[in-house]
Amino acid sequence: MELVSDVSALFGRHMRHLARIPEKLLSVTLMPIAYVIVFGVLFGSAISVPGSDYRSFLMAGIFTQMMLTNVGNTALGVAGDLGNGVVDRFRSLPMSRSAVLIGRTLSDVALAVIACVAMAVVGYLIGWRVHQGIPKAVAGFGILLLLGYAMSWLGALIGLLARSAEAVNSIAFMLVMPLTFLSNAFIPLNGLPGWLRVLCEWNPVSAVVAACRELFGNTSTGTGKGALPVQYPIPLSLALIALLLAIVVPAAVGAYRKAAAR
Amino acid sequence: MDMVIEAEGIRKRYGDQEALRGVDLSVPAGTLLGLLGPNGAGKTTTVRVLATLLEADAGRASVAGYDVSTHPREVRRRIGLTGQYAALDERLTGRENLQLIGVLHRLGRRGAKTRADVLLDRLDLGQVAARPVKTYSGGTRRRLDLAASLIAGPKVLFLDEPTTGLDPTSRLILWDMIREQLAGGVTVLMTTQYLEEADQLADRIAVIDGGRVIADGTSDELKAKVGGERLEVTVQDDAAIPAAVTALREVTAMEPAVERNGRTLSVSLRDQLKTVAEAASALDAAQVRPIGFAVRRPSLDDVFLALTGGTTGKEG
């Protein structure tokens, strides 16, 4: 009960930020829209994949890429609170210890919901459609947001350990770049050399993207056989996200306990 | 007397650096203990241990009747902490900041709102309450930060260099706020680099250096430790120094100390009025025309320099 009231107070704090920090509002509206236009329209017009139009194929990848930006968003917010003493104040209050991180990660997921809506609308305008019915599409977004939640916790851990905005930016970039591009987000994997293909197939991002493509009905026929995550993307993406959360949540809560600023 | 803050043999190590090497403190109810020391002496670490932010490696501490390591949550219910920088959310307004802290202090939404309004009014923050904190001046920020630490009516207040970097007017306002809390029965532990601040506010002062309390007592007791009053004579140019030294030596039978710029001499005064009169006529007879002639009581600066071996630093 106490946890719920603390989390809701902190959630309210972050939602107020959305209205007050223009960059934050832009990052959940204009940026995702730009992603869809740049990747979907520009690349989508130049490349084709077998069995599907590339634009529709790309949408799951773009949604997933957006979820990965939660790493940096959450990490920057946490590092900022550490740097200006806000975390010290919270730690001196008789509040529950995990509330600060839960409030932060949940609010970053709420922002991801806004981003998903913006992207889906623009996607629709450029011709993206779901073909498996609304319940399955909603399930696809559920998996995406779970990934976003796990990425927020990963970001919280990075923010607590790295502490400075500069370090956070470079760590998040080094992490998110390979996760995005060594995956099936923008390309079908069957054209890759063997070892690279195995690496990309086991990337949890690939499982999430493949699961969304399946649930949205945007699959390419050229996928063929592959590693387990590509064959059974829905259960495996859930399992990989659960595994990630099981590692990152306790680590971040532990780091918060020790986050005495100096 | 009833001790509200008590620490015994607190030790804290960061890697191979010992920040605290056995700190003992006790603060009676409703008084202010000034914790004075140079940078890196262990002032902030002490506050962080007592405010439950940091776990000590050894020793025992209790605040408001609860052990900080076994009952941290009980301690947190009863303390307010103001750190070295204003720990506020820049994007929220002053009122929103106070309400947030109030809700997290479990005052309930309505309780937090009422209490925030009372504090905004009392600390004269009414006009700026609806503006985001990032538009505040340094002094206003500190005032709001202090208000945030007062939101739940704490029994004990920890103030870590509360006025560092403030202009004199803001400092005086903050001092008044601290005095008001003391008058209301709050017990305060305040760290400071400003000796004047400790002199003004503290009932007792503990001087900390190298992770240990090296002296404590009232301001007067500490000053008595470095000796009594001194006569200071400042001359216009170097040529007058030898004559002045001779004259003062004859009167006091002691070697005058040459201070600061090299043109100020000082001797300790035993028999105040008589020595002052004799020194004045001896200087006059030696045709020394001092531009400064003053009796000075030792300041806390003198105490501080004498006790810490001159490792003082003024900045934070």
The model's pLDDT over A28-73, given as tens digits with 9 standing for 90+, comes to 889 889 988 888 888 877 777 776 778 888 899 999 999 999 999 9
Write out pLDDT tens, residues A148-172. 999 999 999 999 999 898 999 999 9
Structure tokens, A112: 């991801």
pLDDT score at B274: 80
Residue B274 touches partner A, C-beta closer than 8 Å: no
Question: Cβ A85–B51 below 8 Å, yes or no?
Answer: no
For residue B144, give the amino acid letter: L
Nearest CA in chain B to A1: B106
Q: Is B250 within the bounds of a domain? A: yes
Residue A19 touches partner B, C-beta closer than 8 Å: no
Shortest distance, CA A210 to any CA of chain B (angstroms): 39
Among the partner residues A6, A12, A84, nearest to B87 by beta-carbon distance: A84
Write out pLDDT tens, residues A125-136. 988 999 999 999
Question: Cβ B76–A92 below 8 Å, yes or no?
Answer: yes
Write out pLDDT tens, residues B84-118. 777 899 999 999 999 999 999 999 999 999 999 99
Shortest distance, CA B260 to any CA of chain A (angstroms): 36
- The structure's pTM equals 0.84
pLDDT score at A221: 59
Q: Check whether residue B9 and residue B72 sit in a common domain.
A: yes
The pLDDT > 90 percentage for chain B reads 55
Q: Check whether residue B73 and residue B143 sit in a common domain.
A: yes
pLDDT score at A150: 97
Question: Cβ A13–B101 below 8 Å, yes or no?
Answer: no
Nearest CA in chain A to B134: A20
The SS3 assignment for A4 reads: helix
Q: Is B282 within the bounds of a domain? A: yes
Question: Cβ B100–A9 below 8 Å, yes or no?
Answer: yes
Going by the DSSP 8-state scheme, the letter that residue A39 receives in this structure is I
pLDDT score at B260: 62
Q: pLDDT grade, residue B313 (50/70/90)?
A: very low
**Alpha-carbon span B7 to B58, nearest angstrom:** 11
Among the partner residues A10, A94, A260, nearest to B54 by beta-carbon distance: A260
Q: Check whether residue B46 and residue B138 sit in a common domain.
A: yes
The SS3 assignment for A49 reads: strand
pLDDT score at B57: 94
Nearest CA in chain B to A10: B100
CATH code of B29's domain: 3.40.50.300
ipTM: 0.87
Nearest CA in chain A to B42: A262
pLDDT score at B85: 77
**Alpha-carbon span B286 to B290, nearest angstrom:** 11
Q: Check whether residue B33 and residue B53 sit in a common domain.
A: yes
Q: Is the pLDDT of residue B167 over 90?
A: no
Residue B98 touches partner A, C-beta closer than 8 Å: no
Q: A135, A120, A6: which is closest to A66 by C-alpha?
A: A120
8 A C-beta contact, residue B6 and residue B61: yes
Q: A47, A39, A35: which is closest to A188 by C-alpha?
A: A47
Q: Check whether residue B281 and residue B209 sit in a common domain.
A: no
Question: Cβ A93–B105 below 8 Å, yes or no?
Answer: yes
Q: Is the pLDDT of residue B287 over 90?
A: no
Shortest distance, CA B109 to any CA of chain A (angstroms): 9
Q: Check whether residue B189 and residue B265 sit in a common domain.
A: no
When scoring B43, B89, B136 by the number of chain A Cβ atoms within 10 A, the one with the most, hence best to mutate, is B89
Q: Using CB atoms and an 8 Å cut-off, which of residues 73-92 of chain A contact chain B?
A: 84-86, 88-92
Q: Check whether residue B211 and residue B232 sit in a common domain.
A: no
Residue B131 touches partner A, C-beta closer than 8 Å: no
Residue B110 touches partner A, C-beta closer than 8 Å: no
Write out pLDDT tens, residues B126-154. 999 999 999 999 889 999 999 999 999 99
pLDDT score at B259: 74
User: For B228-247, what is the mean pLDDT?
Assistant: 83
pLDDT score at B288: 82
Write out pLDDT tens, residues A202-231. 999 999 999 999 999 987 655 556 778 888
Q: Is B184 within the bounds of a domain? A: yes
CA distance readout (Å), B285 to B148, B250, B262: 63, 12, 22
Q: Check whether residue B129 and residue B269 sit in a common domain.
A: no
Nearest CA in chain A to B71: A94
Between A205 and B301, residue with greater pLDDT: A205
CA distance readout (Å), B68 to A26, B47, B280: 44, 12, 59
Question: Cβ A92–B81 below 8 Å, yes or no?
Answer: yes
Nearest CA in chain B to A85: B87
The pLDDT > 90 percentage for chain A reads 65
Chain A residues touching B88 at Cβ < 8 A: 84, 86
8 A C-beta contact, residue B215 and residue B305: no
Where helices occur in A182-232 by DSSP H, the ranges are 194-202, 204-216, 228-231
Chain A residues touching B132 at Cβ < 8 A: 20
Q: Check whether residue B291 and residue B188 sit in a common domain.
A: no
Q: Is the pLDDT of residue B174 over 50?
A: yes
Q: pLDDT grade, residue B34 (50/70/90)?
A: very high
Q: Which of B169, B198, B217 is the last residue of a domain?
A: B217
Q: Which of B187, B217, B247 is the last residue of a domain?
A: B217
Q: Check whether residue B41 and residue B114 sit in a common domain.
A: yes
pLDDT score at B83: 82
**Alpha-carbon span A54 to B298, nearest angstrom:** 83
Which residues neighbour A73 within 8 Å (Cβ) at sequence distance 6 or greater? A27, A108, A111, A152, A155
Between B6 and B221, residue with greater pLDDT: B6
Write out pLDDT tens, residues B198-217. 989 999 999 999 999 999 99
pLDDT score at B1: 64
- The total number of structural domains in chain B stands at 2
pLDDT score at B309: 66
Question: Cβ A260–B48 below 8 Å, yes or no?
Answer: yes
Q: Check whether residue B47 and residue B134 sit in a common domain.
A: yes
Among the partner residues A5, A6, A17, nearest to B91 by beta-carbon distance: A17
When scoring A13, A21, A92, A100 by the number of chain B Cβ atoms within 10 A, the one with the most, hence best to mutate, is A92
Q: Chain A to chain B, count of Cβ pairs less than 8 Å apart?
A: 69
Q: Is B316 within the bounds of a domain? A: no
Q: Is the pLDDT of residue A106 over 50?
A: yes
Q: Is B159 within the bounds of a domain? A: yes
pLDDT score at B311: 45
Domain around B73: 3-217
Q: Check whether residue B206 and residue B259 sit in a common domain.
A: no
Q: What is the mean pLDDT of chain B?
A: 88
CATH code of B261's domain: 3.30.70.100
Chain A residues touching B155 at Cβ < 8 A: none
User: For B8-12, what is the mean pLDDT?
Assistant: 96
Q: Is B307 within the bounds of a domain? A: no
pLDDT score at A213: 93
Residue B282 touches partner A, C-beta closer than 8 Å: no
Q: B115, B48, B163, B171: which is closest to A89 by C-alpha?
A: B48
8 A C-beta contact, residue A31 and residue A68: no
pLDDT score at A210: 93
Q: Is B283 within the bounds of a domain? A: yes
Residue A53 touches partner B, C-beta closer than 8 Å: no
**Alpha-carbon span A165 to A152, nearest angstrom:** 16
Residue with tokens 């002062």: B205
